[in-house]
Structure 1
């Protein structure tokens, strides 16, 4: 009987990790050394999606799968778990967290569905038998996540347990309040205090994005892309006059910026 592609991949990984016949580089790796590669591959998957390059997406998903297979192989060698157990665990989790699909549960709204999802995750955390008094509803949010993603996840976790504004309007007021505090800190000249208040402003901005049902990470990425497009326009206009950006006055650059905004709106 011929092997499936999954079985072939697992066999290739086992060969690469063979103590005598394997690859020296692969044999040197451990869970920690693979962290940057795992993160990089996840970002490259996201990049392929954002570029709408679906052929590249297939390849990048393969690279990400390799990281899963590599970690599973390392665990198998230590007698911890194997790839089959990884697949079984995520399959069981998906069934457990979707009782409206695999059982008789029903929800009237996305909010109810999200609440049930968070409750299921909370039960899973309790099942891990943490020492008494050390458990928190915020446990399990990875500290290595990008700051915006981590902030949103923590706020969602707190909100699912009732710690949230019931309406959106007060969040706007809080944003303005935090902005005033940033200005006061800036006037004080205390750099540490300025950093603290800017952090508070960013945090409440993420909270506002949540209430407006906007993903803050995606929103910032798109805003950065828009900034880059407009800045590139300024660069091209300045270069066409055989000058450097530093040769131009701010007023001229600002005028070109507004010109770029108009052209962007027309093209869109």
Structure 2
């Protein structure tokens, strides 16, 4: 058998997991106590741990974190079966049916020659399925704002509401930058209208996210890479200062900048 398990081995592994879940739910005090609500925050945490593993490009950790998320899916399905609401088979079959419906270019007569056509078909079918009165109705309210902005823009594009050229988007970025400067770059000592400045800054961020989408950059991924880069350099600064017998809080900005420039060269 190759490194990638055969279908038979995959099904046996899944059956083993379901059996273990049944046993834990019956015999383990902690597992018996859990509810859909109590698992929610743990599932979110596991999702972020998977995200970390993906950012590190650590396939071994990705494998482990996928296992943890799969456990949660099976756990929710087990609780659902106890409530006679759903079980793992109805979850999987529902997913299969949705995938077939949303890929009419594979399972029907629809033509989709490129990725963009596939995405547009997906959004139109999804809108019809959910019965939303708005294209944006399917965007989760609890999404982080940056990711939510991405999804809003993608969904709007799915029904044809989008810029035609990236140059137009960049013009919008520059326009929003000027409007923000006008609100925030007030005369020294003059009180700033924080609400208006906040609104203009939000418009600027939204336009930058839009431009990133047009040049095929994931802004969430880009910002996280910058976060990690800053952490690495700042921690070098801390370590270098300590090695020199200095306390970072007692150093001048000019002194700290010396170590910062060293970190940038690493």
Q: Does TM, scored on the shorter chain, surpass 0.5?
A: yes
Summarize deviations over 1:41-77 as a string: whole Å, max 9, x none: 1111222222232222222111101110111111111
Query: Which residue of 1 is the match for residue 97 of structure 2?
Result: 92
Distance 1:54 1:8 in 2: 23
Query: Which residue of 2 is the match for residue 148 of structure 1?
Result: 146
Query: Which residue of 1 is the match for residue 22 of structure 2?
Result: 14
Q: Which residue of 251, 256, 267 maps to 2:254?
A: 251
Q: Which residue of 242, 247, 253 maps to 2:245?
A: 242
Classify the secondary structure of the residue corresponding to 2:74.
Answer: helix
Number of residue pairs matched by the alignment: 252
Summarize deviations over 1:172-209 as a string: whole Å, max 9, x none: 22222323333333334233333333222222221111
Unaligned runs of 5+ in 1: none
Distance 2:169 2:130 in 1: 30
Query: Which residue of 1 is the match for residue 165 of structure 2?
Result: 167
Worse-superposed segment, 169-178 or 146-155: 169-178
- Structural mapping, 1:96-107, within 5 Å: 96-107=101-112
Worse-superposed segment, 208-217 or 103-112: 103-112
Query: Which residue of 2 is the match for residue 123 of structure 1?
Result: 128
| Greater helix content | 2
Unaligned runs of 5+ in 2: 1-8
The answer to whether the 8 Å contact 2:123/2:159 transfers is: no
Query: What is the TM-score of this pair, normalised by structure 2?
Result: 0.84
- Give the Å deviation of 1:86: 0.7
Distance 1:39 1:141 in 2: 17
Distance 2:246 2:111 in 1: 65
Worse-superposed segment, 140-149 or 103-112: 103-112
Q: Which residue of 37, 43, 50 maps to 1:32?
A: 37
- Structural mapping, 1:75-224, within 5 Å: 75-126=80-131, 135-186=133-184, 187=186, 188-224=191-227
The answer to whether the 8 Å contact 2:124/2:159 transfers is: no
Distance 2:258 2:194 in 1: 32
Query: What is the TM-score of this pair, normalised by structure 1?
Result: 0.84
- Give the Å deviation of 1:255: 4.2
